[in-house]
Structure 1
Amino acid sequence: MGSALAKSVVFSPPAIRTLQASPLILWDKRPKGTPGGDVARPFLWLASKKHGCLRTLIFFHGNAEDLGLIETELIQFQAYLQCNILAVEYPGYGLCRDAFGSEVSFEGLDDVAIHALRYVVSVRGLPADQVVLHGRSLGSGPALRLAARARSQFQWNIGALVLQCPFISIRQVAGDWVGPTGALLMPTCYDNSESLQELCQVPKWKAVERWVPLLILHGELDTVIPPYHGHSLLEEARHLGHPMAEAHFSETATHNRWNMVSDIVTPMLSFLCKHVEGWQDAQDSCEASWATFLCSK
């Protein structure tokens, strides 16, 4: 019962958006026997216009979204960030629903997350330490788990992790909506607090570079996942000794309405320029792009 309830409440795929003809859609199939392997999956790939650009962002979208709904937004996002972007589709969503009839599941999200990272690092040959994982809402779960698993399973240290309107746990969000009794019917899947503890298990003798820089973005007007979730995760990260955990809490953002420049791009680039190799020149490129955009108005 709990599993069926979780699927019906947590996962809300939108109507199928066909992007088969989009030149931005690519299909990749990992070898059988590898994590996330033996399944062809669709991704939205936006290559940087800057030749030889290594900095890359892997984007995990929110619940009632798919690649079709976020394509235009990500094109604009990339214009500001001046990086490669790989957007992940979830099993049971969009093209994945047509592709192999896969049902949505937490395990499926983890598999496709590993697939995405292996594609960027092993197929594209892009350095893991310049890869930024960006998880929005529901996507904060697989993004955070992937950041921890990349180090433990593949010995890859991710460049940074950005969590936008993240949750403490699925059960905690359920409690906000239906109360503690109803929350008990939800499985303990995607416990971001637990995943954060795993991410922060860095021996004290390890250099600071072994920590994955963490940025939390949350809107103070968010009524879907209240901002206390973001504040709590930030406090926990700092309590665990994370030396590079920062946050930006927008006074005007809700769950779905953000100012892309002031609420997301500006704090992200300021953070990434400080902590991630290869992103230092992205801020200058972004400012130049923004100035050009304003002049065109």
Structure 2
Amino acid sequence: MEILNSCRSDLCEWLSADPSFIIEKAEDILTVKDNKEIAHLSCNKEKMTRLLDIIIRKGENQCRDFLTLLSDVQDHYPQLKKLFSTNREGSISQSVHADGGSNVVAPIITSCKVTDMSVNIQSSTSSRLNNRQPTPSAVGAKYSSKSKPGICSTIVACNGSNAVAPLIQGSDISGLNIHINQSPAAAQPDSSKNVKEATASVKDKMEFLKTSLDKLVQKVTNVDPIIDQVSVSGFPAEAVANIRAQTTSQKKMRQILDYTRSTKAAEVVFSALLDHEPDVMEDIMKTY
């Protein structure tokens, strides 16, 4: 999912050269409804944007299947070789911070020679999140190289379990080290009660979002998970595509708020903000 999000613009451009081919190849991933949703669009690039939105909405497993498909069709789309480069050298470092949920570290390593692969996980339980429902998150990466001196994944996780599941195929791994250190975090003030009380006091979520628009645009930086959440909670696919197309977190956040035009949509956005930017929301609600 992370790869599709980070390479979205390039993938849309590369695949738009022949959208029918990749749609046909993805028949095992797409439903009849998905195909109709894509087919009514006239612009090839819009079709590919919608295709990626649909794949991402389906979750991590379908994203992995689609990445495998992209790897198989590199001859048809030569530019995909930039995504699955076979001649890059150097170190690859992956750093992820996840709050309030489980973590999956699952690098897919194919046809590589890796002299040292290290996965280090430092996990702690944050008292601030103890009363919140865990939200699963996943981190995946696909590396394909003739030679890489090192691949390192570093995960910082709160209030969740950890799963390390590297998939290694046709590779020469001379060193694989996995270290997991799980320990309780230092005591922190429990602000969950304050957030809940402040949430209960916000009766009109739409009015809150309108009044706090400037602060939200400036302070919210973790926008992509918010987009993911609203995309599966009723936001139109075209709106989600337009939001993702924005180049900065501020522009994306402003677009989210622009598309929040109903009470239901306001509830969805408000909930997503609490899930992914609780500190920002707490600060804003203190003065609301």
Task: Say yes or no: TM over 0.5.
Answer: no
Rg (Cα) greater in structure: 2
TM-score by length of 1: 0.24
When you count strand as a share of all residues, which structure comes out higher?
2
